[in-house]
Amino acid sequence: MKVSLNQTVESLTGAQNILIIAHKDPDGDTVGAAFALYYALRSLDKHVRIACHDPIPEKYDAITSGYTKEDFTPEFVIAVDVADIQLFGESLKQYEDKVDLCIDHHVSNKLYASQTYLSTSAAATCEALYELLIRMNVKIDKKIADCLYTGIVTDTGCFKFTSTTANTHIVAARLFECGANYDMINREMFDNKSKSRLLLESMVLKAIEFYFGDRCALIVITKEMVDKTGADQTVFDGISGVTKQIEGVDVGITIRQVQGSEYRVSFRTSERVSAFELAAAFDGGGHVRAAGCIINGEILEVKEKLLEKTGEKLKPYLK
């Protein structure tokens, strides 16, 4: 059931011994929202614990550093930025039908919780959460401001995505006034590339292939390339975004060799083509502009299949 801001405030105020769930493969918005809510509820003297199927990546250290794990039996379960129970992950499966409140901004939210506060106009769950915390009379301290700002910048690509609104900027301004360490956060989130990442980028940029009159850009990242850079998995964060930055490109395809003949494929598309439909053609999924799938086969064969499907989608735009 969807609930209003006031009802949500009431539920939160009445709750005690709270478990906050962040989604698996945690991103800045789910981490930011979980920890902002944690610090807020702790300031109201409630018992609070955070659960996430996967470890929280190191780059969020600054916002997770004030966390102390408490042992208690949860009486109230909140999921933040979790659109679907599929995103709980195996280790939190037990809570799938026990969520009292979900705070989210995804249009695709499955309304699996007893109460769902869904603000689809918010660019990030953290943007919606700011409003909520203000209504609860929580003092937005530096730490909470850092959490909320992290969620907002990561979910908007630093105010670039079309989900950004005037209100997103207003909230950012308020968080600046509360002392958000935006410089450190932006560097951690966007500008902290390792030397191996730079090397990989250099190789990737040099190896971009163009098809269909430059409307399609394709990148192949082999295990050999990655090994050469000495990088770990995090080196891939955002690398498929590279294809989206190229002038005139409608479909960006990044093919990454996982192992042997297993390839992970990312699609990034302009408003002309649905990335979701492309991925779905290969049993994958995702969003309209960003989606992915796994394909097995020899690389030339994988490329051919992908280009054939891409050609179909681009047909109306080719001269």
In the bound state with its own copies, the residue whose beta carbon lies nearer, of 51 and 62, is 62
Q: Is 170 in the site for its own copies (CB under 8 A)?
A: yes
- Taking CB under 8 A as the binding criterion, the range among 32-40, 41-49, 178-186, 292-300 that sits at the site for its own copies is 178-186
In the complex, the smallest distance separating the C-beta of residue 152 from its own copies, rounded to whole angstroms, is 10
Phi, psi of 180, deg, nearest 5: -55, 135
- State the Cα angle at 164 between 160 and 53, rounded to 5°: 90
Q: Beta-carbon neighbour count of residue 165 at 10 Å?
A: 15
Q: Is 222 in the site for its own copies (CB under 8 A)?
A: no
How close are the terminal C-alpha atoms of the chain, in Å? 50
In the bound state with its own copies, the residue whose beta carbon lies nearer, of 209 and 262, is 209
- Asked whether 188 and 62 are in contact (CB, 8 A), the reply is yes
In the bound state with its own copies, the residue whose beta carbon lies nearer, of 289 and 305, is 289
Cα–Cα dist 116/220, whole Å: 41
In the complex, the smallest distance separating the C-beta of residue 276 from its own copies, rounded to whole angstroms, is 17
Element (H, E) at 275: helix 275-280
**Residue entry with tokens 């950012």:** 172
Q: Is 46 in the site for its own copies (CB under 8 A)?
A: no
Cα–Cα dist 60/55, whole Å: 11
- Taking CB under 8 A as the binding criterion, the range among 38-46, 124-132, 182-190, 257-265 that sits at the site for its own copies is 182-190
Q: Is 159 in the site for its own copies (CB under 8 A)?
A: yes
Q: Beta-carbon neighbour count of residue 5 at 10 Å?
A: 13
Among 44, 51, 111, 158, binds its own copies (CB under 8 A): 158
In the complex, the smallest distance separating the C-beta of residue 81 from its own copies, rounded to whole angstroms, is 22
Burial class (CB in 10 A: 0-12, 13-18, 19+), 153: buried
Element (H, E) at 197: helix 195-206
Which DSSP state fits 304? Answer: H
Q: Is 193 in the site for its own copies (CB under 8 A)?
A: yes
* Phi-psi category of residue 237: left, alpha or beta, with phi > 0 → left and psi -120 to 50 → alpha: beta
- Taking CB under 8 A as the binding criterion, the range among 28-36, 71-79, 124-132, 176-184 that sits at the site for its own copies is 176-184
Cα–Cα dist 151/154, whole Å: 5
Among 6, 14, 68, 160, binds its own copies (CB under 8 A): 160
Q: Is 186 in the site for its own copies (CB under 8 A)?
A: yes
Q: Which two tokens stand for residue 203?
A: 């190789």
In the bound state with its own copies, the residue whose beta carbon lies nearer, of 5 and 207, is 207
In the bound state with its own copies, the residue whose beta carbon lies nearer, of 242 and 281, is 242
Q: Is 69 in the site for its own copies (CB under 8 A)?
A: no
- Taking CB under 8 A as the binding criterion, the range among 24-32, 64-72, 79-87, 190-198 that sits at the site for its own copies is 190-198
Among 5, 205, 258, 294, binds its own copies (CB under 8 A): 205
Cα–Cα dist 251/297, whole Å: 21
Binding to its own copies (CB under 8 A): which residues in 239-278? 244-247, 271
Give contact residues for its own copies (rule: CB under 8 A): 158-160, 162, 164-167, 169-170, 172-174, 176-177, 182-183, 186, 190-195, 198-199, 201-202, 205-206, 208, 210, 214, 244-247, 271
